[in-house]
Chain A
């Protein structure tokens, strides 16, 4: 489903490579964790995968579409949940969702039904007409995810979806990812929360300084390196130095 070959990215006016000759591939139908410390290159890699960053070296193929040549086709099949809340703060949740849904050319009637279902599922039904700026952090995250589901993606890419949210929101989000995956869809998500990744990921890829460190199922990796959990493995591989 996802093939990345010799991916290299250097931002203009920077000295180091943000992504340094990264190659990996994943099968469809899995929950994949892209893990790494701050500044490892997770967001950059994801931005390349979905075509937000166009200026890079290497080859990226998702769901049979080359990102450089068949981006429009690809965008119908994938969706990204940005790290930042990509919603209009002064619009209500419903207004936001209606707008993005209309941009996907979804007929109004089915859009309304879909939005109502998702709001129910994510526990936002009673807050549908509240402005996003009045939402709590967890509610914003959930709304941010709903906005990325409107095009019924086969592959959902999430950038730190559980960073800084309350326990209830987090468990709701993780449960959703499992359900979503159970329907045969794929998930790629970045995190620096290792216990969370260990519990829901079928496979993880750890990167640091833009380079691949290791790839495999959490169980495989823990066993191979004789550690107790993913977190100790992670520290062993990426070191103890604090990243900013």
Chain B
């Protein structure tokens, strides 16, 4: 126990003077978390929360295009631009501005839209009138089917963005068409206003059934939806913990090349005490680092305009989870430090492997969106399991069964890693 504690103290004295190492350990993850949370803030937000500048080329000038315009403005999602430098838009200019990326999208209402929609509304109204026995007929002609509201997108815009915008516009136009149909039916019976019950709100009835997102969780007050902070803070905190392997393998290689290792081996008693002391130190360091990063998520994020991190309601399970991630990172560092002879060899490998494991492990983007081959590869990334366990705890109301799999995989991985390191170390002896 004394020997373990002595080693622990020694590691602390070593790291205390290693300013570069400390910066790597604490400053780097804070920076990563902050930057990544900010960068990924937009993609994580639903498009409905964002406002887009859209070119609005209205060639119709009728009542319908006016309603569409008002609808788009009222939705709060669009800023409509109808002229550039006091010059009204035309089709060519609109095309050019979207093509060169000056604007993300353009909405073109073709001439005759009002006439066309009124015409088809009249047809529908006549048809309904006939069926229910209301006399009268509204004037109409044959429909044209070539007419459409055109939406142009910046060529580099993402498919999800296009779909979201198209859906939104489609929703407005459908709604306006429905309103016109209702109005036409009202007109069937002759005069405006007379036969109409003003207290009856067609629109409200029509939209009585709406769709809205609710939490799948039991607790009603905590709707912890995935956002940039909720993804990036744990992900980059885990990444930071694995970056600790750089310190560990540097520590081990230095110890070996600087000769202390020789002395340590010549001191009677079990070498495991020294190893346990070392592991204990780094595991604890990793845990402290992780919790500090969570604090950054909770307290710092609101200062830069991001939501605060929602923490787990099961602190003990979280601690177990964090502990097993730290175990895995520490043993991985010990293995790398054992395998390589010099820090020049080890450090690039350590850094690269952490970056690769983080990429396939869902730190950069969630595992769900990775291609299936990477999804399979991600199974060997300890960061994937770490992140899965942490997300289970932070986002879902998890109980211990939910972290059983990640915890056992991480701890199992640690044991395998240590056995490997032991094997390598024994082979090294001349």
Closest to A87 in B: B260
Min CB distance, B85 to chain A, in Å? 65
Inter-subunit contact A103/B264 (CB<8 Å) = yes
Encoded as 1 (CB less than 8 Å from any A CB) or 0, chain B from 399 to 430 comes to 00000000000000000000000000000011
Q: Is B17 an interface residue (CB 8 A)?
A: yes
Encoded as 1 (CB less than 8 Å from any B CB) or 0, chain A from 69 to 92 comes to 000100110011010111111110
Inter-subunit contact B429/A53 (CB<8 Å) = yes
Q: Tell me the complex Cα distance, A135–B10, Å.
A: 19
Q: Is A95 an interface residue (CB 8 A)?
A: yes
Q: Which residues of A contact B13 (CB under 8 A)?
A: 90-91, 95
Q: Is A112 an interface residue (CB 8 A)?
A: no
Q: Tell me the complex Cα distance, A53–B7, Å.
A: 24
Q: Is B266 an interface residue (CB 8 A)?
A: yes
Q: Is A52 an interface residue (CB 8 A)?
A: yes
Inter-subunit contact B269/A103 (CB<8 Å) = yes
Closest to A51 in B: B266
Inter-subunit contact B10/A91 (CB<8 Å) = yes
Which one of B5, B264, B430 lies within 8 Å of A12 (CB-CB)?
B430
Min CB distance, B180 to chain A, in Å? 80
Encoded as 1 (CB less than 8 Å from any B CB) or 0, chain A from 130 to 144 comes to 010000000000000
Closest to B258 in A: A89
Inter-subunit contact B262/A11 (CB<8 Å) = no
Q: Tell me the complex Cα distance, A36–B10, Å.
A: 37
Q: Tell me the complex Cα distance, A80–B2, Å.
A: 23
Encoded as 1 (CB less than 8 Å from any A CB) or 0, chain B from 1 to 29 comes to 01101110110011001100000000000
Inter-subunit contact B262/A99 (CB<8 Å) = no
Q: Which residues of A contact B7 (CB under 8 A)?
A: 99, 103
Q: Is B263 an interface residue (CB 8 A)?
A: yes
Inter-subunit contact A54/B429 (CB<8 Å) = yes
Min CB distance, A58 to chain B, in Å? 15
Inter-subunit contact B3/A103 (CB<8 Å) = yes
Instruction: List residues of A (102-134) whose CB comes within 8 Å of B's CBs.
Output: 102-105, 131
Q: Which residues of B contact A103 (CB under 8 A)?
A: 3, 6-7, 264, 267, 269, 273-274
Encoded as 1 (CB less than 8 Å from any B CB) or 0, chain A from 217 to 229 comes to 0000000000000
Instruction: List residues of B (246-285) whose CB comes within 8 Å of A's CBs.
Output: 255, 258-260, 262-269, 273-274
Encoded as 1 (CB less than 8 Å from any B CB) or 0, chain A from 45 to 60 comes to 0000011111100000
Closest to B268 in A: A75
Closest to A99 in B: B10
Encoded as 1 (CB less than 8 Å from any A CB) or 0, chain B from 55 to 74 comes to 00000000000000000000
Q: Which residues of B contact A8 (CB under 8 A)?
A: none
Q: With A91-B13, A105-B269 in contact, do A55 and B260 touch (Cβ < 8 Å)?
A: no
Inter-subunit contact A90/B262 (CB<8 Å) = no
Inter-subunit contact A75/B262 (CB<8 Å) = no
Q: Tell me the complex Cα distance, A79–B262, Å.
A: 12
Inter-subunit contact B260/A86 (CB<8 Å) = yes
Q: Is A205 an interface residue (CB 8 A)?
A: no
Q: Tell me the complex Cα distance, A82–B429, Å.
A: 17
Q: With A54-B429, A90-B14, A90-B17 in contact, do A84 and B3 touch (Cβ < 8 Å)?
A: no
Q: Is A147 an interface residue (CB 8 A)?
A: yes
Q: Tell me the complex Cα distance, A98–B17, Å.
A: 17
Which one of A79, A91, A99 lies within 8 Å of B6 (CB-CB)?
A99
Inter-subunit contact B263/A82 (CB<8 Å) = yes
Which one of B9, B17, B262, B430 lies within 8 Å of A55 (CB-CB)?
B430
Min CB distance, B49 to chain A, in Å? 51
Q: With A12-B430, A91-B10 in contact, do A85 and B267 touch (Cβ < 8 Å)?
A: no
Known pairs A82-B259, A85-B258, A99-B10. 4 more at Cβ < 8 A? A84-B262, A90-B13, A90-B14, A147-B263
21 example contacts (A-B, Cβ-Cβ < 8 A) are as follows: A11-B430, A12-B430, A51-B266, A52-B265, A53-B429, A53-B430, A72-B268, A76-B268, A80-B262, A84-B259, A85-B258, A86-B259, A86-B263, A88-B14, A91-B13, A102-B6, A103-B3, A103-B7, A103-B269, A104-B267, A104-B268
Question: Chain A residues in contact with chain B, CB under 8 A?
Answer: 11-12, 50-55, 72, 75-76, 79-80, 82, 84-91, 95, 98-100, 102-105, 131, 147-148, 151
